[in-house]
Structure 1
Amino acid sequence: MILQATAHTHKFLEARDYRSPDDAYETPFQLAYRTKLHYFEWLAQNQQHAFNTGEQWYDLYPFEERLGKDADRVLLVDIGGGKGHDIARFKEKMNLAGRLIVQDPPEVISDIQPPLAQGIEALTYSWFDVQPVEGAKAYYMRTVLHDWPDKQALQPLQRIRDAMAEDSVLLINENTLLETGIPKFNTSVDLIMITTFSSPERTDKQWLSPLERAQFKVVKVWRADDQGAGANALFEAVPVQIKTSR
């Protein structure tokens, strides 16, 4: 939200002969969101958008139909899932059988308080290492892979592929860019990603490249109704079965 206002700062200052703003109701924020409301007034009316509590990846994806039910199997591994906020919401809404695991470096996992809901396990893990959870039904990443350029993104993808069973799936919930006519906010995020991580925000075609190089096939891209900024696409991919010579 702040970045979108920042992206309009030049236009705002240009129109004011570069005078500093002095009115809480006349800022780049009002220009960016085309509103006369104060930031907090706007926030109160738009909390669903502001806190991204609207359509989530599990609202897009027919989980039971695609992945089935198996109480004895790891159902989902949330790689880079922080303190488990996303997987906890998933469990609360879906109420499916099967083990759920969230993975992140030790400094994140050790800071989880209070304990995760029953049925969710926390596991310390660096995704450049061998994936310790083998044969899970789904391996999931939300807006973490975009922090890495293809050069480094390939390794965690290959680690996942090596751990997968034949019927496992990879779910990547990510930001995507249009091929042309990219909005200013998305462009500003792209520049920030390049500056900080050497990793551009990707179009669909650019997402396919590292996945294919890591021996994955994208079977479908599930999309949110709101195609603005944020994790607006869910890539469902399966491992390519590599033929071996006898």
Structure 2
Amino acid sequence: MRAGPGPAKFVGDTAAVFVREILLFLRDPFSLVFSLLQPLIFLALFAPLLRGAVATGGAGAAGMGTGGTGTLQWFVPGVIVMISLFGTSMTGSGLLYELMTGSYERVLATPLDRSAILVGRSLKEFAPLFIQGLLIAVFCVPFGFRFYPVHLLVGLVLLGVFGIGLGALSYALGLACKGREWLFWSVQQTLLFPLLILSGIMLPLETGPEWMRLVSRFNPLTYIVDAERTLLGGTLGSTAVLWGAVAAGLIAVVGLVVGIRTTRTTI
């Protein structure tokens, strides 16, 4: 029985799109495996170089709220955030492929609410994020990473909210760049790396110049990274976690608003 118009139909359509996207994801499990290769390479090759910068009790580690728990405790949260950043910012490329093949137009021909299409697709981003983040954390336990299950769950939920917003923005960019795939990648790459570097994901910002530390305060990803390091360091009640949740929530709201508006007015 089809849901009637209004909120019930929107929820039903969103669930239908979400299930469709999850099934497509489950049919290609190798994409999950290959997406883990890059962060594992970063952990294997980059983390040892950080021992001097974020050694226990060092200025960089203390500044990032790890409580002096070591290099992995500082670096693993950044890698998990990096998975979220890379994965969700590229989701618009999949939409571009659907636009080129005509499959997206077939979805639009259904009675699905256009807003539900965007929201359902965005919600799907939480599933791979959760699996990847959990696998990375578990993988690092034998190497000295302290595993706090509840804290990790909270951190992954926070990243899921962030991923929903960023995924929606990526879909909006994909729609805006219809027929110009080069433009999507140009914009995505131009924005991605400054956000990554100016958030302190890979290196402590405390050792950088003053202008870089100042600019990082206007980067919402900085607060999300700080929140993840605080959570995975074993602390729940902290202002860093609160600010991270606020930043993730703002990105989700802005992403969904922009994405829904673009979906309704494009094609």
* TM-score over 0.5 (shorter chain): no
Structure with max Cα Rg: 1
The TM-score, its normalising length taken from structure 1, stands at 0.22
**Higher normalized helix content (fraction of residues):** 2
